[in-house]
Structure 1
Amino acid sequence: MTQAIGPVRTCIGCRTRTLPSELLRVVAVDGSVVPDVRRRLPGRGAWLHFDLECLRNAERRRAFSRALRVQGSLDVALLREHLEQQHRNTTSGQPRGQQETRKQVDPS
């Protein structure tokens, strides 16, 4: 017997099925693919890992226009910039959204 763990989405880059919390939703806006970080933008969405390799695979396979059901090619510059910034934030040594905490030492 399988237990339902919630909705499952497929990354359009690597075609791996996983939870939406591990993927970034993207939508087409005026001929560009934009990240939908809050998952509230209107329109058809597609899902992508926070990985530049998945972005390259999706571009190579022309998956964005097919998944978003848009005619012609789409500009992915905003999405690429967003993923590169996420990559810089996670590789800088500090986890995202966390401040450095210091222990206070009692001088006595």
Structure 2
Amino acid sequence: MSAVPERARPVRTCVGCRCRAVASELLRVVAAAEAVVPDPRRRLSGRGAWLHLDSKCLRLAERRRAFPRALRVPGPLDVSAVRTHLDVAEGVTD
């Protein structure tokens, strides 16, 4: 049993699959200079969006054009930094 009750833990929605999950299971991302950057420590300023640590969710978010809408930024955003972060987290090598 965890020290914090389940209902007291913050719940967020993944912008890719639209499933709700405890915030500690998701990666926060923010918009910076026309790009989406990962914020694993949750310290960067600005509006954030949440994403599962899964490349499938990233692909869904890209296909749905969810990042500009969730981050309230006009135009397309580069997600290469998030893709690299997820590849490292998943242990993917080229």
> 3-state SS of the aligned residue for 1:21?
helix
Q: How big is the alpha-carbon RMSD for the aligned residues of Structure 1 and Structure 2?
A: 1.2
Which has a greater percent of helix? 2
Q: 2:19 aligns with which of 8, 16, 21?
A: 16
Report Cα offsets for 1:53-101 as digits up to 9, x if no partner.
0000000000000000000000001110110111117xxxxxxxxxxxx
Structure 2: segments with no counterpart, 5+ residues: 1-5
Pair 1:84 & 2:84 matched: no
> In the TM superposition, what is the alpha-carbon distance from 1:43 to its structure 2 partner?
0.1
Could you tell me the TM-score, scaled by structure 2's length? 0.89
Aligned residues: 87
What CA distance in whole angstroms lies between the structure 2 residues aligned with 1:29 and 1:4?
32
Look at both structures and tell me which one has the larger radius of gyration over its CA atoms. Answer: 1
> 3-state SS of the aligned residue for 2:45?
coil
Specify the alignment match of 2:60 in structure 1.
57
Structure 1: segments with no counterpart, 5+ residues: 90-108
Q: Which has the higher contact order (CA 8 A, sep 6+)?
A: 2
Report Cα offsets for 1:28-72 as digits up to 9, x if no partner.
000000000110000000000000000000000000000000000
Indicate the percent of aligned positions where both proteins have the same amino acid.
63
